[in-house]
């Protein structure tokens, strides 16, 4: 894999989704314990403000540039990243890989009705993967979930608790199964069919963020962070 590109102290992998998928297949075959963070500008700013969280995500095996904001920042710093690698696309790739190799997957996060629907949709579409367990993301006691994951020994654990919770959960518990652990944010909301991904034209124009904001105005917080993100990146230019 190419040299990493550091933005706000986070070393981003500089590769394509396809090459990254190939690397994940190899790691899955070797059962290497793997922690993936898919970081957008909001996460980068949060990490800047919270050193403990920054340290925790710096322990990840891969930090991927999730979102066009990170790619633009890399261009501003004259060290352009090849392409964005999102949590949703990586999760989709992992589902395909799991389906091809009949791997075990565990899903954690989202509201009870969302995770139920996500499980149904995945089982319908990926008939060859083994969905060994799941739990919604609104639990008070994590111990039964940790015990369940430990017992099932999945190859892949997708955690959708939003940041920083999902990365904290992974960092604290990844030792219980030699799996690929990935924080996937709102991906189950999309997989359940509740939230629609932006039409392709918006994706191609890199205006997915605008579409999602227009359809879900609560996402304003994500856009609000951008000026500060850019300011922090500019400071790195000197
Ligand atoms: N979520 C959860 N438990 C919590 C808080 C959030 O399961 O205590 C879920 C929420 O239902 C949603 C996802 O985590 O499915 C967060 O999605 P969002 O797009 O806000 O994630 P972000 O991109 O902020 O990490």
User: 94-132: per-residue pLDDT in tens?
Assistant: 999 999 999 999 999 999 999 999 999 999 999 999 999
Query: pLDDT tens digit string along 52-95?
Result: 999 999 999 999 999 899 999 999 999 999 999 999 999 999 99
User: Other C-beta atoms within 10 Å of 210: how many?
Assistant: 13
Which mutation among 160, 166, 213 tests ligand 1's pocket best, with the greatest number of atoms within 8 A of CB?
160
Contact status, residue 63 vs residue 12, Cβ threshold 8 Å: yes
Domain ranges of the chain: 4-197
Fold for domain 4-197?
A: Rossmann fold (3.40.50)
Ligand 1 atom at minimum distance from 166 CA: 25
pTM of the predicted model as reported, rounded to 2 decimal places = 0.94
Backbone angles phi, psi at 164, to 5 degrees: -85, -5
Q: What was the pLDDT predicted at 223?
A: 82
Closest CA to 228 of 47, 42, 54, 11: 42
Q: Collect contacts of 195-202 with beta carbons under 8 A, ≥24 apart.
A: 197/88
For 46-50, 193-197, 233-237, which range has the lowest pLDDT when averaged over its residues? 193-197
Atom of ligand 1 nearest to the CA of 42: 24
66-95 as b/e: b if 16+ CB within 10 A: bbbbbbbbbeebeeebbbbbbbbbbbbbbb
Rounded Cα gap, residues 12 and 3, in angstroms: 9
Reported confidence tier of residue 237, pLDDT bands at 50, 70, 90: confident
């Amino acid at each position: 894999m190419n040299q990493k590109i550091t933005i706000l102290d986070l070393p981003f992998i500089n590769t394509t989704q396809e090459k990254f998928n190939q690397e994940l297949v190899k790691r899955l075959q070797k059962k290497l314990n793997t922690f993936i963070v898919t970081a957008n500008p909001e996460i980068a700013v949060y990490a800047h403000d919270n050193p403990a969280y920054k340290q925790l995500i710096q322990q990840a095996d891969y930090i991927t540039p999730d979102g066009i904001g990170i790619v633009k920042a890399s261009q501003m710093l004259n060290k352009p990243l090849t392409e964005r690698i999102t949590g949703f696309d990586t999760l989709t790739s992992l589902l395909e890989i799991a389906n091809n190799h009949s791997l075990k997957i565990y899903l954690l996060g989202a509201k009870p009705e969302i995770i139920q629907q996500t499980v149904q949709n995945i089982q319908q579409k990926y008939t060859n993967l083994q969905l060994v367990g799941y739990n919604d993301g609104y639990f008070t006691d994590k111990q039964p979930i940790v015990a369940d994951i430990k017992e099932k020994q999945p190859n892949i654990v997708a955690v959708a608790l939003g940041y920083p919770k999902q990365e904290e959960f992974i960092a604290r518990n990844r030792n219980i199964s030699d799996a690929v652990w990935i924080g996937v944010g709102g991906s189950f909301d999309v997989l359940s069919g509740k939230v629609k991904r932006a039409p392709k034209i918006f994706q191609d124009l890199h205006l997915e963020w605008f579409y999602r904001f227009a359809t879900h105005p609560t996402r304003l917080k994500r856009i609000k962070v951008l000026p500060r993100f850019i300011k922090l990146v500019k400071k790195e230019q000197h």
